[in-house]
Amino acid sequence: MSLRGTNQEFGRPYNRRIVLEAIRQHGPVERAEIARRVGLTVQTVANIIREIEELGLISGERAHKKSRGSPPMSLTLNPQGAYAVGVHVTPLGIEAALVDLAGAIVAARRLDISPPGPEESFREIGRLVKGFRAQTGGRLLVGAGLAMPGPFDVESMSFVGPTTLESWRGVAVAQRLSDATGLAAFVENDMAAAALGESLHGAGRNVSAFYYLYFGLGLGGAMVKDGVPLRGFHGNAGEIGHMPLVPDGQLCSCGNKGCLERYVSLEAFQRRGPVIGRRAWIAEAAPLLRNAIVTIENLFDPETVVIGGIMDDGLLDALVSAADPLPTSVADRKGRTAPRLMRSAPGQNAVLRGAASLAFSGVLSPRLGQTDAPANDPLFARSRVA
Ligand SMILES: [Zn+2]
């Protein structure tokens, strides 16, 4: 996304976000450089920097160089300048974390409510956020992002079957989250949130195009290009678990037969594992996983496929090993710099960080075509400088 400021009066909140985003992307960076990048005058940028510095969102450091006059300030984000809450709701329970501006998890809590109903969930989330707020030291808590299994708004697939939250049908999730926490609230499906978290803070940081294969209770995925998950027309792209890979196979909750996630998913492991054992399940899942990866590579041509999710780390590692060697595909080429298949950063933090980053970007980042400020805008309400 190109960052350009606007000279229109209503654009002031937008310009603050533009400048903050330029510092996030390019910091440490000097103000003259920011002005060049965003197309605003140095004076306007200097005013905005003073405001967001007063809010504690950035910090400056003078380079030690021997020249006359004071050297220019180099500006970076202040990681402890603001916080957001990331929440992940699955049929297995609720996880929540307080995340700082740099994406570090400052505090995390897990509630084993299975499956969590909406009433209980929002009550508990409200309680957790109250606790997190006490840990921010009075700094800005910008909002809350909630990730949950998708797809959304598909009659025969949303809130249907064991990998979804069946009792959440018709719940106005963002509104309820905002009511429960008093924060600006954002909702996303968990695989897209995980892909976002992985691209900002995990294995996806060092590649520009990767496919994130997400083991929730079901199986999903998202192609991420330059930090942006490809979402499709309705935001439901990536329901790879419902690729019918086994002709005339097991009946899936979506109504089709032989869907991948009936065989390769945490739900499949929990159902089949106790019957045939862990090793046998991995051996059974591996050929289908290989086919899925080859299909992904041929469709999207990613630099690498990253596997992660809420499945335990040992089982994910075992699946990655069992998928080797991979059959040929467009990814099977000389001169590769990344392996075809990679594990995500260990642990289950990608979803929580991704969910929190929804709140950071929703409140603090410039959005294309939106130049007005959201309600309770921290960059507007708390700054008084023109
Ligand atoms: Zn299906």
Between the CA of 249 and the centroid of ligand 1 the distance, in Å, is: 11
- Segment 307-329 shows an average pLDDT of 93
Quick: pLDDT tens for 142-155: 999 999 988 887 87
Residue spans of the domains in the chain: they are 9-77, 82-193+350-361, 203-344
Asked which of 168-177, 180-189, 289-298, 341-350 is least confident by mean pLDDT, the reply is 341-350
CA distance 264 to 328: 21
Q: What is the mean pLDDT of the chain?
A: 87
Between the CA of 80 and the centroid of ligand 1 the distance, in Å, is: 43
Handedness of CA 100, 103, 109, 111 (dihedral sign): positive
- Segment 227-241 shows an average pLDDT of 86
Strand partners, 60: 75
Between the CA of 243 and the centroid of ligand 1 the distance, in Å, is: 7
Architecture of domain 203-344: 2-Layer Sandwich (3.30)
Which CATH number does 9-77 carry?
Answer: 1.10.10.10
Between the CA of 259 and the centroid of ligand 1 the distance, in Å, is: 5
Quick: pLDDT tens for 40-98: 999 999 999 998 888 889 998 876 666 667 777 899 999 999 999 999 999 999 999 99
Please list all protein residues whose beta carbon sits less than 5 angstroms from ligand 1, which is an ion: 242, 252, 254, 256, 259
pLDDT, residue 1, reads 47
Between the CA of 158 and the centroid of ligand 1 the distance, in Å, is: 11
- pLDDT at residue 382 greater than cutoff 60: no
Between the CA of 244 and the centroid of ligand 1 the distance, in Å, is: 7
- pLDDT at residue 27 greater than cutoff 60: yes
Handedness of CA 325, 327, 329, 335 (dihedral sign): positive
Specify the fold of 82-193+350-361: Nucleotidyltransferase; domain 5 (3.30.420)
CA distance 18 to 3: 6
The neighbour count for residue 359, using CB atoms within 10 Å, is 26
- Segment 165-176 shows an average pLDDT of 91
Confidence bin at 205 (pLDDT 50/70/90)? confident
- In CATH terms, are 9-77 and 203-344 the same topology? no
Between the CA of 239 and the centroid of ligand 1 the distance, in Å, is: 9
Between the CA of 202 and the centroid of ligand 1 the distance, in Å, is: 29
Between the CA of 5 and the centroid of ligand 1 the distance, in Å, is: 46
Q: Where are the alpha helices (DSSP H) in 301-372?
A: 313-322, 349-364
- Segment 221-234 shows an average pLDDT of 87
Between the CA of 343 and the centroid of ligand 1 the distance, in Å, is: 25
- Give the rounded percent of residues in the chain with a pLDDT score beyond 90: 55
- Segment 246-267 shows an average pLDDT of 95
- Segment 160-178 shows an average pLDDT of 89
